[in-house]
Amino acid sequence: MPNNFALGNGKPWSRRQLLQLGLAGAGVTGAAGLWQMLNLQSKSTVKVPPLNIEAPDDATNPMKMLRDFDYGTVKQENGRTIREFQLTAGTSIIKLNSAVSYNIWDLNGRIPGPTLRAKQGDRIRVLFLNNAGHSHSLHFHGVHPAEMDGVRPISNGSATIYEFDAEPYGVHLYHCHIEPVTRHIAKGLYGMFIIDPPTPRPPADEIVLVMGGYDVNDDSHNDYYAFNGLPHYYMHHPIGIYKDQLIRLYVLNIIEYDPAVTFHLHANFFDVYRYGMTMTPSEKADVITMGVAERHILEFAFRYPGKYMFHPHQDAIAENGCMGQFEVLAEKNSQNPVKHS
Amino acid sequence: MIKLRYICLAAAATLIVTLSSCSSTPTAENPSAPVASPPATEAVSNNSHSGHSSKEKININTAILSELDKFEGKLGVPALSNKIQANRPYGSPEDLVTKKVITQEQFDQIKDQVGVQEVVLTGEAKDVDYMSKLGLMKGHLLVARELLDQNQPKQAEPHIGHPVEEIYVDVEDQLNERKVKEFKTTLVSLQDLVKSSPKDSKVKTSFTSSVQAVDGAIAALPEAQRSKPGFTLQVINELLDSANSEYRAAIADGKITAPIEYQDSRGFVFYANELYKGISSQVAQADPEAHKAIDTSFAELIKVWPAAIPPAKAVKTPNDVTKLVKTIEENSQKVVDKSNTQAQR
């Protein structure tokens, strides 16, 4: 579900809206509801350009995936808050370019799978259904008991339930863990899993970028690369952001077969929050090296309008699709200059 | 301006805390919309999830169709088994109601028998599951054999690997109780061999012992059971279901772009066909019409995989294959139902 509705208007909330929320909040359980509301409130100060999202016609929709977070369904059981997610593995076809179609395994009809988002300490329940032929599974990064580790194959047509506590906070991921894991991941069974810290991070325009690779002829060598599923997409459709707006990038490298890639941002430096597991940055950089499954939070703001590329500095990988650009827009009434990197 | 907002926020927050402390109604959060209105369907407390399941329960997330038939029979809802299967996954038994598969009243009649927890399969369901897993292994090995014979060890290798990587763990626990010797070592050494020295003469003997091992595991099921149409048809449909998904994963724009999945589906369909040949005369006797439909569909299906090395163009679309598979499933179900009613008499 896109969050753009809450982010889009950029107007502070009216007293009336807040009261409505308060009344509707009768059913919302204290802490979790309050946290969500604080998040909403803080996000309402964030400026996000309106998105021109084309109607999704297949499993790829990079523009929609940028700011799309799945918070699951919240249930109460035995006095505990359970955050329930549903993930179904299926099969679909994507067009890597005008000439090449490729069969992927998708999660909930998309590649990468939904960006799941919870708060530290939530009880997570993931209902996983496998409709993708081979046996598959979901293995979550994080801390949990062995039986919830998601390495047991779930056969075609059957479902299973993974349940564990969301800890520790950070940017994590989930993926299929059936051998050959390289192939099961590279064909699409992965997604980002964000656990928010107990105290929310400062307001920012939050963007998800997942780097993936495609081995179209099964020779254990990638032929194409992409941010959020589709090669070169953000080169042709730059990601709009506002000048001086704090951007919080959640970046994951899930490129199989290449041992490591970097992430490089043009004409700027970013603050690095390694694995998203701290509230203070460890360093400032314009290139950061990421091994397979490494992921970080990168924060920055652009001072000057214009288009700025981002890509791995393994240029061959960039040239084969893992490349995009931000389009920094000058805002008319910019009243909240946040931070210059 | 900002100050005023924080005051409002604080007031609203207090209101929420106050109200929620005297209300225990659970609800759903919807962070994308500023107004959190609880959908009625979520206002159900699902305490059963953590409850212990009794022996009688059927796991609606994993049960095969004939197991789900118990609910279909009890509630008298046609095609309920397929509907339950189509609406997976379920987080709790009550999801049958929230997902509108059945009504609350119907649910009340069966709720004691419904579970979502991993259950230990028993009786026929357990045997069908066991046999289906071994059937998938047979399918993989069948197509691996063809590829080895055509001197394509690289293409054969994944089909030798899949039985171990995807399936073995599911039958492993049962081997002891069924008095079957472990055969993981056998499968793994064959894989090692094909990977590292595919031209070695040992490949042939290693392959033979792998096939024998799987056959031996199948033979742990009594012959009488394996020759029963009601039993074997369930296995056949499990195999065809996987084959159907694999075939869909192999085709893009009418071309076979993923040979591994094409070959997997070939192996499963061919082995399913082999199994059907063993029971076809009995099916023909019990239900001639069902037999005719199954027989014709199999003949059509087989044509989709003319060789182990995929043709340039797909013979049939995934939708056409799905249709044939569904026809076999529906007609099988009639035979399975009949044999179940007979067994109850």
Which tens digits make up the pLDDT trace of A261-285? 999 999 999 999 999 999 999 999 9
Residue of A nearest to B237 (CA): A157
- Report the Cα B253 to chain-centroid distance in Å: 26
- What's the pTM value of the predicted model, to 2 decimals? 0.81
Residues of B in contact with A101 (CB under 8 A): 252-253, 255, 257
The closest alpha carbon to B12, from A13, A219, A291, A224, belongs to A13
Q: How far apart are CA A96 and CA A100, in angstroms?
A: 6
Q: Residue A121: what are its φ and ψ, rounded to 5°?
A: 95, -15
Could you tell me which residue, B25 or A306, shows the higher pLDDT? A306
Q: With the C-alpha atoms ordered B83, B86, B87, B91, is the resulting torsion angle positive or negative?
A: positive
B213 neighbors B186 (Cβ within 8 angstroms): yes
From chain A, the residues in CB contact with B167 under 8 A are 135, 153, 155
pLDDT above 80: residue A317: yes
The confidence score (pLDDT) of residue B227 equals 94
On the question of pLDDT at A158 being above 80, the answer is yes
Count chain A–chain B contacts defined by CB atoms under 8 A.
Answer: 225
Pairwise CA distance, residues B248 & B331, whole Å = 22
3-class secondary-structure state, position B282: helix
Question: Chain B contacts of A152, Cβ < 8 Å?
Answer: 169
CB-CB neighbors (< 8 A) of B258 in chain A: 103, 218
Identify all chain B residues contacting A24, using CB atoms and an 8 Å cutoff.
35-38
- pLDDT band at A20, cuts 50/70/90? very low
Please indicate whether, in this complex, the C-beta atoms of B16 and A34 are within 8 angstroms of each other.
Answer: yes
CB burial readout A239-270, b (16+ within 10 A) else e: bbbbbbbbbbbbbbbbbbebeebbbbbeebeb
CA B225 to chain centre: 21
Q: What integer pLDDT is reported at residue A215 of this predicted model? A: 97
ipTM beyond cut 0.90: no
Alpha carbon distance B15, B267 (integer Å): 63
- Would you call A253 helix, strand, or coil by DSSP? strand
| Among the partner residues B33, B50, B166, nearest to A5 by beta-carbon distance | B33
Phi-psi region of A72 (alpha: psi -120 to 50; beta: other; left: phi over 0): left
What span, in angstroms and rounded, lies between the C-alpha atoms of B60 and A323?
Answer: 44
Residues A87, A81 contacting (CB under 8 angstroms):
no
pLDDT at B217: 98
Which residues of chain A have a CB within 8 Å of the CB of B4? 15
Quick: pLDDT tens for A43-68.
558 999 988 776 556 789 999 999 99
> How many percent of chain A have pLDDT more than 70?
83
Q: Please judge whether A134 and B264 are an interchain contact, meaning their C-beta atoms are less than 8 angstroms apart.
A: yes
- Cβ distance of A6 and B31 shorter than 8 Å: yes
Of B46, B89, B169, the CB nearest to A129: B89
Of the partner residues B16, B33, B257, the one whose CB lies closest to the CB of residue A101: B257
pLDDT tens digits for A109-130?
A: 999 999 999 999 999 999 999 9
The answer to whether residues A248 and A201 touch, using CB atoms and an 8 Å cutoff, is: yes
Which residues of chain B fall below pLDDT 70? 1-55, 119, 343-345
- A25 or B100: which leads in pLDDT: B100
Q: Three-class SS of residue B254?
A: coil
Q: What is the chain B residue with the closest CA to A15?
A: B8
Let me know: does A270 contact A204? Beta carbons within 8 Å.
Answer: no
B91 to A161: CB separation less than 8 angstroms, yes or no: yes
- Asked if omega into B311 is within 30° of 0 (cis), the reply is no
B61 to A27: CB separation less than 8 angstroms, yes or no: no
Phi and psi (nearest 5°) for B243? -60, -40
Are A212 and A229 contacting, i.e. CB atoms less than 8 angstroms apart?
A: yes
How high is the pLDDT of residue B2? 44
Asked if B250's CB is within 8 angstroms of A30's CB, the reply is: no
CA–CA separation, A241 and A50 (whole Å): 10
> DSSP secondary structure string, A123-168?
EEEEEEEE-SSS-B--EE-SS--GGGS--S-B-TT-EEEEEEE--S
Pick from B229, B244, B245, B251: nearest CA to B314: B251
User: Closest residue of A to B154, CA-based?
Assistant: A219
Indicate whether A203 pLDDT > 50: yes
With cut-offs at 50, 70 and 90, classify the pLDDT of residue A333.
Answer: low
Q: Residue A153 and residue B13: Cβ atoms within 8 Å?
A: no
In chain B, residues with a C-beta closer than 8 Å to the C-beta of A36 are 29, 31, 36
Task: Average the pLDDT over A178-183 and give the result.
Answer: 96
- Among A86, A87, A103, the residue to mutate for chain B (most B Cβ within 10 A): A103
- For residue B274, give the 3-state DSSP assignment: helix
Report the Cα–Cα distance between both ends of chain A, in Å, rounded.
31
Sheet containing A306-311, strands listed edge to edge, beginning at the edge strand earlier in sequence: A239-242, A324-329, A306-311, A260-265, A287-291
Taking CA atoms, A337 is separated from A269, A340, B6, in Å, by 17, 8, 20
**Which one of B18, B24, B27, B95 makes the best mutation probe of the A interface by having the most chain A beta carbons within 10 Å?**
B27
| Total number of residues shown for chain A | 341
Q: What is the pLDDT of residue B123?
A: 86
pLDDT at A43: 52
Asked whether residue A149 carries a pLDDT value surpassing 70, the answer given is: yes
Q: What is the DSSP letter of B164?
A: I
Q: Write down the pLDDT at residue B120.
A: 73
B29 neighbourhood in chain A, CB within 8 Å: 28, 32-33, 36, 71, 74
State the smallest CA–CA distance between residue B227 and chain A in angstroms. Answer: 25
SS3 A110: strand
pLDDT of the residue at A56: 55
Of A25, A75, A178, the CB nearest to B20: A25
Contact list, A42 vs chain B (CB under 8 Å): none
Distance CA A190, CA A193 (A): 10
Contact A131 B90 (CB under 8 A): no
Q: Which residue in the set B17, B24, B259 is minimally distant from A34, CB to CB? A: B17
Asked if B34's CB is within 8 angstroms of A27's CB, the reply is: no
- Chain B residues within 8 A of A214 when measuring between CB atoms: none
CB contact under 8 A, B35 and A24: yes
Beta bridge partners of A172: A193
Contact (CB, 8 A) for B180 and B157: no
How far lies B87's CA from each of A138, A159, B84, B222, in Å?
19, 11, 5, 34
**Chain-chain contact of A21 with B36 (C-beta, under 8 angstroms):** yes
Q: Do the beta carbons of residue A323 and residue A234 sit within 8 Å?
A: yes
- A179 interaction partners in chain B (CB closer than 8 Å): 161, 165-166
Chain A interface, best mutation among B1, B2, B18, B19, by max A CB count within 10 A: B19
Among A27, A34, A161, the residue with its CB nearest the CB of B13 is: A34
User: Quick check: B170 and A178 CB within 8 A?
Assistant: no
